[in-house]
Structure formats: C-alpha cells, structure tokens
Amino acid sequence: MLSPSEIDARLERILLKVQKPGRYVGGEFNSVVKDWDSVKARVAFIFPDIYDIGVSNLGLQILYDLVNQRPDALAERAYSPWIDMEEQMRISGIPLYSLESKHALADFDVLGFSIPYETLYTNVLNALALAGIPLRSLDRSEIHPLVIAGGHACFNPEPMHAFMDAFVIGEGEEVIGEIIEAVKQEKRKSKNRGGLLRSLAEISGVYVPRFYDVTYLDDGTVEAITPNVSEAPQTILKRMLAQLPPPPTKFLVPNIDIVHNRVAVEVMRGCTRGCRFCQAGMITRPVRERGVDEVVAAAEAAIQSTGVEELALLSLSSSDYTPVLDLVTAIGEKFAGRHLTVSLPSLRIDTVSVALMEKLKERRSGGFTLAPEAASERMRRIINKYIPDEQILSTVREIYSRGWPTIKLYFMIGHPSETLEDVQAIVDLCKRVLAEGRRALGGRARVHAGVSTFIPKPHTPFQWVAVDTPQQIRLKQDLLKRELRDRNIKLSWTEPDDTLLEAWLSRGDRRLAEVLFTAWQKGAKFDAWGDQMRFGAWQEAFADRDLDPAFYTHRPRRPDEIFPWEHISDAVRKNYLFADYQKSLAGEIQQDCRQNCHACGILPAFATERREHPGLYWKCPEVKSPQRAKVHK
C-alpha cells in the first residue's frame, strides 16, 4: 500500500481535474488528527456516499468523537469518491484513504461502515474494492482490517452478511469501545482473525454472520437459523442505552458547501406513536429524552465550537418531546438576535405545532412540512397515524393565515389494502388544503405534495404484507399526475424502480448477497442517486443468480414464516407486531404507549436497565407486575 506522503503527492496531481476537490482533502475545523504511532487501535469510519451527504451524519459524528476521546485509539474518516474522482484514483493507483492522515484504509485496524439505508450497499462493496481489501469476509485474514457495519439498515443484515465480519445491532456508543478493546486484545496475543470474531460474538449486540447457518424450505423461505459456535447467541438483542450520553458538540465544519451544514442536537431517541409503517419508530424504542438544560447547553457549545448558524433539534417526533414548549422558549431566549436558524422536524399535525414554529422562525420563507402519510381517515386508522380530516384542515388554515405561503404534505401510496379511492383522497385533500391557502393568501398559496411508495420494512407490524407491483404503483402515480395538474400544486414521487430496489434489499435474505455482488460487478453503485441507479444491472443480477425478485417483494408472507431477520431482535416481540397487524386489518387504532404500556417487549428485554434508570427520561409508563394487577381488580 502507498504511504500517506505518496498518496498526498499523487492526489496533488489529480485534484484539480475533479469537481469540488475540497471533498477529498479533509482539514475541517474540529477534525482530529492524532499521532498515528501513539495509539493501539486505529478506526476508519466510512459513510458510503459522497462527502457532501456523509459529513453531517450524526451517528458517525458521535462515534468519531467518542473514539477520539480515548487516549489509546484514533478515528479518521472516509467517504465514497464521486464518479470523476474514482476514475482519477484508479488511473493514479490511489487507494481509498482517510481524510485526516491520508493513510490507506487497509492500514487501519477497523473499518466501520455507517449504513442507515439499504441503497448504500453497492457503495460499501465499491469502497472495499477501492481500498484494495477482499470484499468477502471469508477471503480476509488477520492482515486485513476488521470490517464492521452499523446503522438502521443493519436490522436486516442478511443481504450484506457475506461482506461484513460483524454488524453492530442498535446503538453504537458503548459497543464501539468494547470492539476496540477486543481488537487491542487480539493484537497483543493471538493475531488470529477467528479468535477475534469469536470474542466479538460474545459482545452483546454484535452479530458475526459466519457463526450462523441458514437452511431453507422447498418454497424458498427460511427453515432455520442456527448458531454454529458456542459463543454465538441464538438471538442477537440490539444494544440500547438506558440513558442518552452527553451529546457531541465539536461538530466537523466542512470547508465546502454541503447539503446540511448545521449542528444537530438529538433531543429524544425513540417514538411512542406506533405508526405501523415506521421502522425507525419500532427499532429505536424505548423513548428516552434529554433535559431542556442539557439540550440548550449542548446547542450553545456546538454553536460556539463551530460558528455555524443553523441548529437542528432532532427526534422522530418533536411534538412528543415532553418539554417541547419549554425547549423552544429557552432556545428563542438564548439565541435571540444571533441570526440563528432553528429547525424542529417531524411536528404533529395540530395548531400547537404552528405556534411552536412561529416562536422559532422570524421569517415565513420556505415551507411548513406536515406528514399525514395517508389522505383518508380509513387509511390513517390502518397505518395507525389517526388524525381527523378536520384537524388537518384547521392546522393548514392556521399555517397559511400566519403567513407561510407553502405547505409541504408527505404521503405514501401502497399502504396495505389501498384502493384507487384512497389515492384519489390524496388528490382531494391537496385541493382542499390549497383552497384554504387561497382563502388566506390568494394566488400566493402553494402546496407541495411528496408522495413516496410504501415499503413494508422488517420489524414492523407490516412486515408480513406485499409491496405494490410496478403496475399498481404506476396506475396510482398516473392518477396523481393526471388529477393534480394545478400550477400551485407541485407533485413529486418515487420512481417505481427505486422503490423495488429498496424493497428487495430491505426484505432480502442471505442469497441476495450474491445478487448484490453481481449487480456491483455489472456497474451498480450510487443506487440512492436516481440518475446513477442501473435497474438493468439488478435485473440481470437476479437472473444470473436464478432468483425471482418478486419472491422478496410481491408475496404476502405466511403468518408462521421465519423471516431472514428472525435472529436479530429489537426487543419488540414478533407476536406483538402480528397482533398489531391484525388490529390494523380491523381498522383499530393502537394508542400512543406513553400512558398505557401495550407490552411490546421492551420492558422485559431491558428490565435490568430499567431498574437502574427508573428516572424521568425513559418514557415507558410504570408497569405493575401481573400479580399486583390482579389484586387491584
């Protein structure tokens, strides 16, 4: 492998030939460059998309910060080079390198990939190839870095099982330290990859795919998933932090213009709403909040340490953050007159949200975003995001009359049992919303309708249902395009091919690894970039591997089917999800679980953690033991 100074010298010859060379040189304020030889463990974190998207990823910022706080370890970063840079790097023989010290990735002890969504998979393979590292775990030995991955997509790790030595399931803050300890141990003694993997398998929340055998039934579904070494548990329970650790404040400040140049403070993790389509809402349970003081102090420290004037207060559902009003008031007072832009995403559809936004925004430019997800009351019951029509209309009335000219409405098509009437309801609702806008603002009022296509994700109550076929999707999209022709309504949608690809990858089993590999060989990469996605390569890859893509997507799964992700547990029980799915079919709503526990499985799975942290910030309600409940009856 080339040395850092050789890489630097070769880079100098090519950087002016590519767009935005600032992506490839590092040097951000708050980046950490440690002495390479002063530490025992070296970790490279890789976000497998371009710098512009990856650099602001909060998950990686958290881990980068945590590892660099350790005196015995260093963390550096790499991102996917864009097409033009990849070509130049190949011509000049430059391997994928870290931005901080310009070491080749092959020189690190650990490569940690962040995989928040499935359409990054081919970029992971491409990054390993550019790093000159064997793609398959079984082809790597102790001379190669340990290759691991984490992030939401890893809750179904099976399509990527062949390429990763290990996956982290769930929250990474604690487990990254345990992995570093195991790597240090290995370097000291055995120097044996098998030994390291066995000790990793013993760490709670770590999944080492080679230690599991999968057998299939004649119909192609999974028969059993069986551990083949004693260290590997039957079920890998996700990691979960009973109390959120102090948030990072030393954010990297990119030197070039990127998508989101902002500091972010996570105010809450998890969600109690129970929307049935939402994977994040299931896999990040339970809800844990940070206190207002902690959030405000972190925001101030982050703004001070970066100089950045945009603050995002992140959570899955801002309105559900218990002291949201106090937080907004405190932020407003603290930063008044400082040209700070604050964003508070995922607000509930009610007039309280409008008041909250009004406190945060001095100007009414830009849009106000609402996500009804479905346009008919019937469908909103099915997906468990029940809001009466009248509540939506009164909210938009309030938004327009307070001066926001544009309302963005997010919907999905393809929900279970959806008919064309439900799709027509999207049209009708958009028109009713615009009519409210016209009444308040006249011709200035706008509606942006973003209509994506539902993909039933693993670990949700809808994991049993089929994805719409491309024909069904096109029929529904054609209806929307035909009926929403209005110069004040802008419609955007997801291409059916993009939906199908994401659906295969998120619902797939181990056999998809070969499809992935073949598609990558045929040139698939940057699948999340509409114009780069090569659907043909994917179709050919399925054909080459003799697999029917429809098996993964257009087939309702049997109630007793063993899912490819059956051995990965987010602590929410499968029979709870199935019962919730049955309720959905009956049009029954499941209430928010902050008041009444619906026994999803979180509390028994994390009973110890709960006992140690009974405090204010973990939002599961107190549950009486069954025996005491009987006495009270």
Partner 1 sequence: MRVRITFAKDGALRYIGHLDLQHLWEWTLRRAGQALIYSQGFHPSPKIQIAAALPLGFSGQAEVVDVWLEADAAHLPSPDSLQSAAPPGLTVLAVEAVDERGPALQTRVEAAEYLVTLLEPVEASDLEERIAAVLAAESLPRERRGKPYDLRALIEMLETGTGTVPSAKHIRMRLAAREGATGRPEELLDVLGIPLEMVRVARTHLIFRKR
Residues found near partner 1 in the complex (CB under 8 A): 12-17, 21-22, 24-29, 253, 255-257, 261, 304-309, 338-339, 365
* Beta-strand pair 310-314/263-266: parallel
User: Nearest approach, Cβ of 311 to partner 1 (angstroms)?
Assistant: 13
How many helices (H) and strands (E) the chain has is answered by: 23, 19
What is the SS3 assignment for 216?
strand
Give the integer Cα–Cα distance in Å for 306 and 304.
Answer: 6
Q: Which of 12, 213 has the CB closer to partner 1?
A: 12
User: Nearest approach, Cβ of 263 to partner 1 (angstroms)?
Assistant: 11
User: Nearest approach, Cβ of 73 to partner 1 (angstroms)?
Assistant: 22
User: Nearest approach, Cβ of 95 to partner 1 (angstroms)?
Assistant: 19
User: Nearest approach, Cβ of 446 to partner 1 (angstroms)?
Assistant: 18
Q: Which of 29, 386 has the CB closer to partner 1?
A: 29
User: Nearest approach, Cβ of 89 to partner 1 (angstroms)?
Assistant: 15
Task: Give Dmax (Cα) for the chain.
Answer: 79
Q: Which amino acid is at 127?
A: A
Q: Which of 8, 566 has the CB closer to partner 1?
A: 8
Give the integer Cα–Cα distance in Å for 374 and 409.
Answer: 10
Q: Which of 92, 401 has the CB closer to partner 1?
A: 92
Helical packing angle, 121-130 and 512-521, nearest 10°? 60
What is the SS3 assignment for 200?
helix
Task: Name the nearest CA neighbour of 383 among 431, 454, 315, 450.
Answer: 454
User: Nearest approach, Cβ of 253 to partner 1 (angstroms)?
Assistant: 6
What is the SS3 assignment for 125?
helix
Q: Which amino acid is at 461?
A: P
Q: Which of 87, 174 has the CB closer to partner 1?
A: 87
Which tokens belong to 456? 């039933």
Helical packing angle, 193-201 and 175-188, nearest 10°? 150
User: Nearest approach, Cβ of 106 to partner 1 (angstroms)?
Assistant: 23
End-to-end Cα spacing for the chain: 72
User: Nearest approach, Cβ of 343 to partner 1 (angstroms)?
Assistant: 17
Q: Which of 17, 474 has the CB closer to partner 1?
A: 17
- For 66, residues 6+ apart whose C-beta sits below 8 A from its C-beta are 173, 176, 177
Give the integer Cα–Cα distance in Å for 565 and 443.
Answer: 51
User: Nearest approach, Cβ of 15 to partner 1 (angstroms)?
Assistant: 6
User: Nearest approach, Cβ of 92 to partner 1 (angstroms)?
Assistant: 11
Task: Name the nearest CA neighbour of 504 among 461, 472, 537, 478.
Answer: 537
Q: Which of 301, 387 has the CB closer to partner 1?
A: 301
Q: Which of 270, 405 has the CB closer to partner 1?
A: 405
How open is the CA angle 373-379-380, to the nearest 5 degrees?
A: 55
> 286 preceded by cis ω (within 30°)?
yes
Q: Which amino acid is at 296?
A: V
Q: Which of 101, 384 has the CB closer to partner 1?
A: 101
Count other C-beta atoms under 10 Å from residue 629's C-beta: 10
User: Nearest approach, Cβ of 286 to partner 1 (angstroms)?
Assistant: 37
Do 123 and 49 contact (CB within 8 A), yes or no? yes
What is the SS3 assignment for 491?
strand
Q: Which of 262, 457 has the CB closer to partner 1?
A: 262
User: Nearest approach, Cβ of 13 to partner 1 (angstroms)?
Assistant: 5
Give the integer Cα–Cα distance in Å for 223 and 414.
Answer: 29
Q: Which of 306, 569 has the CB closer to partner 1?
A: 306
User: Nearest approach, Cβ of 306 to partner 1 (angstroms)?
Assistant: 7
Give the integer Cα–Cα distance in Å for 20 and 82.
Answer: 10
Task: Name the nearest CA neighbour of 323 among 269, 268, 242.
Answer: 268
Do 541 and 512 contact (CB within 8 A), yes or no? no
User: Nearest approach, Cβ of 560 to partner 1 (angstroms)?
Assistant: 57
User: Nearest approach, Cβ of 29 to partner 1 (angstroms)?
Assistant: 4
Q: Which of 22, 134 has the CB closer to partner 1?
A: 22
Q: Which of 177, 367 has the CB closer to partner 1?
A: 367
DSSP string covering 368-436, please?
Answer: EEEEEE-SSHHHHHHTT----HHHHHHHHHHHHHTT--EEEEEEEE--TT--HHHHHHHHHHHHHHHHH
What is the SS3 assignment for 481?
helix
Q: Which of 89, 182 has the CB closer to partner 1?
A: 89
Which stretch of DSSP H or E encloses residue 475? helix 470-483
Helical packing angle, 351-360 and 389-401, nearest 10°? 30
Query: What is the edge-to-edge ordering of all strands in the sheet holding 367-373?
Result: 367-373, 406-413, 446-453, 489-493
Q: Which of 21, 332 has the CB closer to partner 1?
A: 21
Count other C-beta atoms under 10 Å from residue 307's C-beta: 9
Q: Which of 188, 338 has the CB closer to partner 1?
A: 338
